[in-house]
Structure 1
Amino acid sequence: MTPTIGFIYAHPDDETFLSACLIKQLVHEGEQPVLLLATKGDAGKKNGYVAHLSNEELAALRVQEMEQAAEILGLTVIEHLGHPDGKLNQVDETLFIEQVAEFINKYQLKVIFSFPEDGGNFHPDHMAISKMATLAVLSGKCPSVQKLYYCISNTLLQQGHEPSISVDTMPQWEIKAKALRAHASQILAIERYFGDLSLCPENRRYESFVLGWERGVLWPQKRELSVLDDLI
């Protein structure tokens, strides 16, 4: 199986927050999605049992947690660029775009997922990796890419964009919750967003994505049954 679909995010746990059930569904369908993370999460808020860790120690722990979550989701390829957490907007743009393009070209990816321009929550790192993923795709440096999706955000909705594809997490909630728990160092942030993980919260039920670019066309208005629809 050759990888077709790539997820490009900022931190370990972004993949589970935003797309755990989509990833698991793709794996179940026989796909081999791959993941690129711009940081190792070394500046993630340190609470509880990890409060004493240095940034380097936290980074090592979060890489281990990412591996555990990946095993749950069926991800077999995770690459870390290792840029400083919280400082992605300070990374040399030319270098950054080249690194993202190199990842895409390494696996000849046809479909890319990332944050929207506003980062979903205006987190500077989320916004930075969205920009780099977008520029890499639109630059022409990644000729294999046919589709670029963005995770839904309030800004996109306010701009009139509607999800091109949505995944109901309720049937797979136990898997998503297990992957979230694997990111144990971030459990306080996770529980602030999802609650205690015992039940699928209705306001976090769907993983939704907007097709922002398809073979040269920006914001094609379409609903899809699969992210593989209309690939050449």
Structure 2
Amino acid sequence: MRSATTITATNVAELGTILGIWAHPDDEAYLSAGLMALARDNGQRVVCVTATRGESGTPDPVAWPPARLAAERTREMARCLDVLGVREHHWLGHRDGGCAAVEPEAAVSQLCDVVGDVQPDTVLTFGPDGVTGHPDHRTVSAWAGAAFTRAAPAGARLLHAAVPEPWEARWSELSASLDIYLPGYPVLTPSERLAVDVVLDPVTAARKVRALAAQTTQTAGLIATLGVARYTAWVGEEAFVEAVRRPASGSLVGALTD
């Protein structure tokens, strides 16, 4: 196993004010809960945006019809963010599974308002691959990139969630058994390309698992199947590539080409 530096309150400070832009409740926790918790403990502002309420996220739509599941996932999201200390959250109000059908200009305008208000130093979101290939993830990535280009302040960074090659090598069998990725995914990222590559310390990893466990409809069965120790190891790394950095003045540096 490669070595990795455990992030601390000292180096998480480099991310400044963080704005996460995600598609469904639990995306934020799986991909960035550790970073959010550490940043909040360090006194940084963390704001989370979720495009949908995840009302289609169930294998049992009879027990969980969309309206009931949306209401429950709304409550779960509040509990999850409370564990992480995140107090600012925005719902965009789009239909789960329907982001690609949303008029892009309207969605980007929504996000421009949030970006303009928050003035983030760091925006966390999906890359164009959407990590798993999910169409909502990929669409939200495009919206976030457009909003960043239009409204992000000088010096801001846009970071895309990534699947590191070493991580997938360790967990590929489990990933395949859980049917997480659409065919052709994940798109793997070499370690040397990562701008953020964090193996969470045990306390933060446990807190992340508590946040994920708060989203019971999505995680209870998986945690029970894997056991807490294995599940904690599986979710204990967070990785991002730098897509764009806005200089202090002038044009953007980088490109949205992950």
- TM-score normalised by the chain length of structure 1: 0.83
1:217 aligns with 2:228: no
Tell me whether 52-61 or 140-149 shows the greater mean CA deviation. Answer: 140-149
- State the partner residue of 2:89: 78
What amino acid is aligned across from residue 194 of structure 2 in structure 1? Answer: P
Deviation sequence 1:112-146 (CA, Å, 0-9, x none): 000011000100011010110011112x2334561
Q: How does 1:110-125 map to 2 (within 5 A)?
A: 110-125=121-136
Contact kept in structure 2, 1:37 and 1:79, CA below 8 Å: yes
Structure 1 Cα separation of the partners of residues 234 and 205 of structure 2: 13
What amino acid is aligned across from residue 61 of structure 1 in structure 2? Answer: E
Deviation sequence 1:22-56 (CA, Å, 0-9, x none): 10010111102000000011111144xx8523201
Secondary structure (helix, strand or coil) at the match of 2:229 reads: coil
- Structure 2 unmatched ranges of 5 or more: 1-15, 164-185, 247-251
Q: How does 1:19-168 map to 2 (within 5 A)?
A: 19-47=32-60, 51-138=62-149, 140-143=150-153, 146-153=156-163, 154-155=186-187, 157=189, 162-168=193-199
Aligned-pair CA distance for 1:110: 2.3
Secondary structure (helix, strand or coil) at the match of 2:50 reads: strand
* Closer/same/farther in 2, CA of residues 32 and 14 from structure 1, 3 Å limit: same
What amino acid is aligned across from residue 253 of structure 2 in structure 1? Answer: V
Contact kept in structure 2, 1:105 and 1:144, CA below 8 Å: no
Contact kept in structure 1, 2:130 and 2:141, CA below 8 Å: yes
* Closer/same/farther in 2, CA of residues 219 and 163 from structure 1, 3 Å limit: farther
Structure 1 Cα separation of the partners of residues 73 and 37 of structure 2: 20
Tell me whether 96-105 or 200-209 shows the greater mean CA deviation. Answer: 200-209
Contact kept in structure 2, 1:170 and 1:200, CA below 8 Å: no
- TM-score normalised by the chain length of structure 2: 0.75
Aligned-pair CA distance for 1:58: 0.7
What amino acid is aligned across from residue 39 of structure 2 in structure 1? Answer: L
* Percentage of matched positions with identical amino acids: 28
Aligned-pair CA distance for 1:109: 1.8
- State the partner residue of 1:206: 237
What amino acid is aligned across from residue 211 of structure 1 in structure 2? Answer: E
Secondary structure (helix, strand or coil) at the match of 2:193 reads: coil
Contact kept in structure 1, 2:52 and 2:96, CA below 8 Å: yes
- State the partner residue of 2:25: 12
Contact kept in structure 2, 1:88 and 1:124, CA below 8 Å: yes
Aligned-pair CA distance for 1:201: 5.2
Aligned-pair CA distance for 1:169: 2.3
* Closer/same/farther in 2, CA of residues 146 and 164 from structure 1, 3 Å limit: same
